[in-house]
Amino acid sequence: MSYCSLIDKYCGDNAPLRHILLTHSCLVCHKALLAAERHPELHLDTAFIEEAAMLHDIGVVLCDAPGISCFGTEPYIRHGLMGAEILRKEGLERHARVAERHTGTGLTIESIRLQNLPLPLQDFSPETMEEKLICWADKFFSKTPSKLTLEKTSEQVIAMLSRFPDGNVERFREWSLLFD
């Protein structure tokens, strides 16, 4: 099944959400693929990057985030975990790992505990280069309709990440040196 078919399957007739999800995911995908192209020495799996970048946010369909046309029941912070469940159900384990590990620059047990997040106490940090690349590219784009096509600067991303504990800024800077 193609990623567009999966998005259609889970968005149903919610055209605004489908538009937001496809636009955001296309922008993340494009940025990730450009970085992969600039760095052939990293030997990244570009076919996988394309698919996983397009599906990394599919879990928003189950979340309560009316500002982006999501009318589910789960808290937004769980969208990565919900996406991983969807993708595992579809037999896409490798893609599921990207979905569950892309929030912030990944969520550690300590950050989940410190922020009292409604997530299992486990490490959701990106591990593979493809997971890190998609997570990095995702930080540049919002799903907020009024900002949907605007790319953030690195400085804007750092300012946003600095509100959160546990090394988010440091990981983003490390990845920027690797992927920029």
Region 57-70: what's the mean pLDDT?
A: 97
pLDDT tens-place string over residues 27-49? 999 999 999 999 999 999 999 99
Q: What is the pLDDT of residue 2?
A: 86
Fold of 3-179: Hypothetical protein af1432 (1.10.3210)
Q: What is the pLDDT of residue 149?
A: 95
Is residue 90 packed enough to be buried (19+ CB in 10 Å), middle (13-18) or exposed (0-12)? middle
Q: Which residue has the tokens 């309560």?
A: 64
pLDDT higher than 70, residue 62:
yes
pLDDT higher than 70, residue 132:
yes
Q: What is the pLDDT of residue 167?
A: 87
> How would residue 1 be classed by pLDDT, with cut points 50, 70 and 90?
low
Compute the distance between CA of residue 171 and CA of residue 139 in angstroms, rounded to an integer.
Answer: 12
